[in-house]
């Protein structure tokens, strides 16, 4: 008899979590305070890096290369183990669902794209700011949005009529136009946006965020919107035609 593994987590998710943990372990146990600051200035996303009128932007390490790679590398860095743990809890269900559907390479490219989109929206709303942005939350928000494109479909992992096997993650995805009219997706998006805005305004405490830290909620929104819109670019499975998109015979 074939036995299912106790924890059926895609290898790419396990390895990604291991990389995130390794990065923080090196920062915590290997680097000195000065080296850690140099590391953050090189790999965290800092809006002032792109403002030539600010002196700090001209002396940050990494040069032109850092202006490119920090759109993604900031997502590999976390403030502390609690910050890492909170993101891991959200990445496991949503990242696993998307990774099973996309496959390892597509998933990693999608993770990078949504992280970059989150950084881009943060830059647009915090131009010239010197506070570094770190954490995988924007990319994880992208996986949440991507999951909404197929998880509620008949036979999908969040549908009552699911099969309970790998086929749950291969169901045809609902088109974006249909997703934006699906009451379940709309409800999820409304709750998600509401919670993120409340966290961002400080109305709700967020685990893993200390008194001197702020939630980059605009980056979360950037990653979420990118995940919702860019899903079709990475999805290897066919999309299900929406009734409004089917031409009726004359």
pTM for this one?
0.83
Q: For residue 91, what are the CA distances in angstroms to 32, 123, 171, 187?
A: 29, 24, 21, 21
Q: Are 43 and 69 in contact (CB under 8 A)?
A: yes
Cα 56 to its chain centre, rounded Å, is 28
Return the pLDDT at 155.
63
For residue 88, the model assigns a pLDDT of: 96
pLDDT value at residue 32 = 97
Q: Give the per-residue pLDDT at 83.
A: 92
Residues 204-228 as b/e (b if ≥16 CB within 10 A, e otherwise) read eebebbeeeeebbbbbbbbbbbbbb
pLDDT per residue of the chain (250 residues) written in tens, 0 to 9: 444 443 579 999 999 999 999 999 999 999 999 999 999 999 999 999 998 776 554 578 998 999 999 999 999 999 999 999 999 999 999 999 999 999 999 999 999 999 999 999 999 999 989 899 999 999 999 999 999 888 777 666 665 555 555 667 778 888 888 878 888 888 888 888 888 777 666 544 444 444 455 668 899 999 999 999 999 999 987 665 444 433 333 3
The torsion angle over the Cα atoms of residues 157, 161, 191 and 189, rounded to 10 degrees, is 70
pLDDT at 107: 97
What would the DSSP string read from start to end of 111-152? HHHHHHHHHHHHHHHSTT--S-B--SHHHHHHHHHHHHTTTT
φ, ψ (nearest 5 deg) of residue 62: 105, -25
Tokens for 57, please give them: 């932007």
pLDDT attached to residue 216: 80
Do the beta carbons of residue 248 and residue 196 sit within 8 Å? no
Domains annotated on the chain, with CATH: 11-242 (1.20.1540.10)
């Amino acid at each position: 008899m074939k036995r299912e593994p106790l924890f059926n987590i895609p290898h790419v998710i396990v390895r990604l979590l291991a990389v995130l943990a390794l990065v923080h372990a090196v920062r915590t146990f290997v680097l000195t305070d000065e080296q850690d600051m140099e590391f953050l200035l090189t790999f965290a996303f800092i809006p002032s890096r792109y403002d030539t009128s600010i002196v700090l932007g001209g002396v940050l390490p990494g040069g032109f290369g850092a202006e490119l790679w920090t759109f993604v590398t900031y997502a590999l860095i976390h403030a502390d183990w609690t910050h890492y743990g909170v993101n891991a809890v959200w990445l496991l269900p949503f990242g696993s669902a998307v990774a099973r559907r996309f496959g390892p390479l597509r998933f990693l490219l999608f993770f990078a794209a949504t992280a970059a989109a989150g950084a881009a929206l943060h830059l647009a709303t915090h131009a010239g700011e010197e506070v570094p942005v770190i954490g995988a939350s924007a990319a994880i928000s992208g996986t949440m949005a991507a999951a909404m494109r197929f998880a509620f479909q008949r036979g999908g992992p969040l549908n009552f009529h699911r099969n309970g096997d790998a086929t749950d993650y291969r169901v045809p995805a609902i088109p974006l136009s249909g997703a934006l009219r699906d009451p379940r997706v709309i409800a999820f998006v409304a709750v998600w946006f509401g919670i993120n805005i409340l966290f961002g305004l400080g109305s709700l405490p967020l685990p893993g965020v200390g008194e001197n830290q702020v939630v980059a909620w605009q980056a979360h929104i950037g990653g979420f919107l990118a995940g919702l819109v860019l899903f079709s670019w990475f999805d290897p499975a066919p999309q299900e035609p929406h009734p409004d998109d089917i031409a009726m015979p004359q």
